[in-house]
Amino acid sequence: MKNITGFSINQSTLLQSSSNRQFTVTGETDAEFLLQVFNTPTSASDQVDFYNFTTASFTPAVSSETTLSVKMDGGTYSGSITFPTNASGDTYTIVLLAPPDKDTILTLGNNKHSYVATIEQVANTTLTFTPITASSANYKTFPTSVTSVASPAIPFSVTKPLSWEIENTESDGHGFGLRLIRQPIDTDWYFTTTDTVNQAELLRTAVSGATTGSEILVLEDNFPQIAMNDYAFASGITAGTIIASTDGEGVNLSAVATIADGATIYFVRPSNEWILDDLTDITTGMVIAAVSGTHAFLNGTPTVLAIDRDTNTITLSEVPDNGANTSGKQGFLDNITLTFEGRGSNVIKKATGANIDFSGWNADVTSAVSTQLTKTVRTDSSGTTVDLNGTYGIAGGNHVTMAGVGVNNASANTVVNVSSVSSTAGSIVMTLAQNVDDIGLTQGSTVYFTGSTQKVTITNTIPITRNPDVNRVIYLDLDNFITVGAAS
């Protein structure tokens, strides 16, 4: 009996581009073996492709050329396999066989007749960086996103420059400027994903008798399993309402409700542990930033403390007492969608596999700069009202100061409100009257505003040493450090 004693090939992940891998079979002289290589179908309609050792290519046609048959004439046999370019990635299986009709066995692995090795090929992925806001009506179209296209299979080092001009929209309804309140920091960058609760409520029953503007709720039956601080959900009950007390016939709620007779009501026990449909892209350190669905309620912004992937269970942090829910725990109905955010470099890396360094985004680094806002005085001004050739970019509310020749800044002097908004002719009201000793602002004077702007320029770099496993978007939350201006 002849022995095949070894098989070696580099099984590290293949890039999406074509590459060649050498293999070596070791064994005794006259030992015989067969070698086949095939890929994994991506769908039921996809065919298996076999490697043709003559043409050095993969083909769906099976022939003698798709099986390498070798009789050893020495201690080793070496060959190569050419893996094709595949922008979608693939998985290749290499099977080493001892021919059933030959006097050969395999002494590697646990099977005397076959040995299997696999090699993964991964596609390039795209890592995208883009600004985001919940107040899109206040902004012009955002600048082009910054992207990194690379393979997640190998480490690399690239620094992506970023330079975005974020501009306030020019409209009477939203043209009150942008206020840069601080510098963007690491945790202003985030990755987001969603998942759905897969957990039945504590109890589902019906209301006995209509309730109008009352905290008292009579149920069809007495249910001893419900208790104080359980959440109550129904049409006509404010989300987040809990049971304040119970009696033999029903419950007293923490807020008044208006519910029809026979309406369905759900009770949920406050908990820090919740079962989800799927935990893909969810990791510890992420926060639940929002919820959606019928009777959705979120108590604060809980953090994911632990994950049990065997049971699809997450453990959440307790949140501070908000005055309504003393437990600090959550109450989610089945099928509620949770929105998770991974904020900052470390959590983004755990969730996506992308290794991004946002340490250069901190309060001590100037990454965002407000463009100086200047206006021209439209008419001679003497009182607190100043007429301008356009007010876009100026925020009221006593956040913005004004300077220039003839401006009265004898004491604290801020823009109280934008009394008449316009792109060409408008007025603002200042704290102080703009006439001192009969000297005031004159028509044609230039005035300068500090505290709001029409444009914030964000400039910094993003070092990247690994792309995510699949395409991912990382957002810069503008609302964390830019406040949209208002008329007053």
> Residue 436's pLDDT band (boundaries 50, 70, 90)?
low
Residue with tokens 């501009």: 167
> Residue 42's pLDDT band (boundaries 50, 70, 90)?
confident
> Residue 482's pLDDT band (boundaries 50, 70, 90)?
very high
Does 109 have pLDDT greater than 90? no
Is 350 in the same domain as 303? yes
Least confident of 162-176, 219-233, 333-347: 219-233
Is 441 in the same domain as 460? no
Least confident of 75-79, 300-304, 369-373, 403-407: 403-407
Q: What whole-number distance in Å separates Cα of residue 487 and Cα of residue 224? A: 54
The token pair at 6 is: 């070894």
Summarised one tens digit per residue, pLDDT across range 116-167 is 999 999 999 999 999 999 999 999 999 999 999 999 988 899 999 999 999 9
What percent of the chain is predicted at pLDDT more than 70?
98
Strand (E) or helix (H) holding 346? helix 345-352
| CATH at residue 207 | 2.40.30
> Residue 93's pLDDT band (boundaries 50, 70, 90)?
very high
Residue 367 inside a domain? The answer is no
Q: Could you tell me what percentage of the chain is helix, strand and coil, using 3-state DSSP and rounding each to the nearest 5?
A: 5, 45, 50
Residue 470 inside a domain? The answer is yes
Give residue 179's identity as a one-letter amino acid code.
R
Is 177 in the same domain as 210? no
Does 435 have pLDDT greater than 80? no
Q: 220: closest CA among 205, 203, 199? A: 205
Does 321 have pLDDT greater than 90? no
Mean pLDDT of 423-446: 87
Residue 113 inside a domain? The answer is yes
Does 393 have pLDDT greater than 80? yes
Is 105 in the same domain as 25? yes
Task: Give the domain-ending residue among 236, 268, 300.
Answer: 268
Q: What whole-number distance in Å separates Cα of residue 153 and Cα of residue 204? A: 49
Is 131 in the same domain as 79? no
Q: Would you state the torsion angle of the CA atoms of residues 176, 181, 183, 189, taken in this order, to the nearest 10 degrees? A: -70
Pairwise pLDDT comparison (28 vs 225), residue with the higher score: 28
Mean pLDDT of 263-290: 96
Query: Which pLDDT value is given to residue 211?
Result: 87
- Residue 221 near residue 205, CB atoms below 8 Å: yes
> Residue 395's pLDDT band (boundaries 50, 70, 90)?
very high
Is 309 in the same domain as 405? no
Cβ burial 183-221 (10 Å sphere, 16+ → b, else e): bbbbbbbbbbbebebbbebbbeeebeeebeeeeebebee
Query: Which pLDDT value is given to residue 223?
Result: 79
| CATH at residue 25 | 2.60.40
Does 438 have pLDDT greater than 60? no
> What's this model's pTM, rounded to 2 decimal places?
0.88
Q: What whole-number distance in Å separates Cα of residue 204 and Cα of residue 179? A: 48
Query: Which pLDDT value is given to residue 286?
Result: 98
Residue 365 inside a domain? The answer is no
Residue 243 inside a domain? The answer is yes
Indicate the DSSP class of residue 423.
S
- Residue 444 near residue 422, CB atoms below 8 Å: no
Q: How many residues does the chain have?
A: 488
Query: Which pLDDT value is given to residue 373?
Result: 98
Residue 360 inside a domain? The answer is no
Is 289 in the same domain as 217? no
Query: Which pLDDT value is given to residue 256?
Result: 94
Query: Which pLDDT value is given to residue 431?
Result: 97
Is 91 in the same domain as 38? yes
What percent of the chain is predicted at pLDDT more than 90?
84
Does 68 have pLDDT greater than 70? yes
Query: Which pLDDT value is given to residue 325?
Result: 59
Pairwise pLDDT comparison (486 vs 382), residue with the higher score: 486
Residue with tokens 């965002």: 368
Strands 426-430 and 385-388: antiparallel
Is 140 in the same domain as 76? no
Query: Which pLDDT value is given to residue 64?
Result: 95
Least confident of 61-65, 103-107, 432-436: 432-436
Task: Give the domain-ending residue among 77, 103, 121.
Answer: 121
Does 322 have pLDDT greater than 70? no
> Between the CA of residue 102 and those of 2, 30, 288, 481, what are the distances in Å?
9, 10, 63, 74
Residue with tokens 């015989």: 32
Q: Is 382 exposed, middle or buried (0-12, 13-18, 19+ CB in 10 A)?
A: middle
Task: Give the domain-ending residue among 251, 268, 285.
Answer: 268
Average pLDDT, the chain: 94
> Between the CA of residue 207 and those of 214, 221, 334, 362, what are the distances in Å?
13, 9, 20, 54
Is 181 in the same domain as 147? yes
Is 241 in the same domain as 307? no
Q: What whole-number distance in Å separates Cα of residue 149 and Cα of residue 467? A: 8
Residue 191 inside a domain? The answer is no
Does 464 have pLDDT greater than 90? yes
Domain that holds residue 111: 2-121
Give the list of residues 6+ apart from residue 314 with CB closer than 8 angstroms, or none: 273, 274, 276, 279, 282, 304, 306, 307, 308
Residue 31 inside a domain? The answer is yes
Question: What are the φ and ψ backbone dihedral angles of 65, each rounded to 5 degrees?
Answer: -80, -10
Give the list of residues 6+ apart from residue 171 with CB closer than 8 angstroms, or none: none
Strand partners, 457: 165, 369
Mean pLDDT of 31-37: 97
Is 96 in the same domain as 146? no
- Residue 454 near residue 178, CB atoms below 8 Å: yes
Number of structural domains the chain divides into:
5
Does 324 have pLDDT greater than 70? no
Strands, E assignment, 354-471: 355-356, 368-370, 373-376, 385-388, 401-403, 415-420, 426-430, 435-436, 439-440, 446-450, 455-466
Summarised one tens digit per residue, pLDDT across range 345-390 is 999 999 999 999 999 999 999 999 999 999 999 999 889 999 999 9
Q: What whole-number distance in Å separates Cα of residue 443 and Cα of residue 166? A: 31
Least confident of 66-80, 283-297, 435-449: 435-449
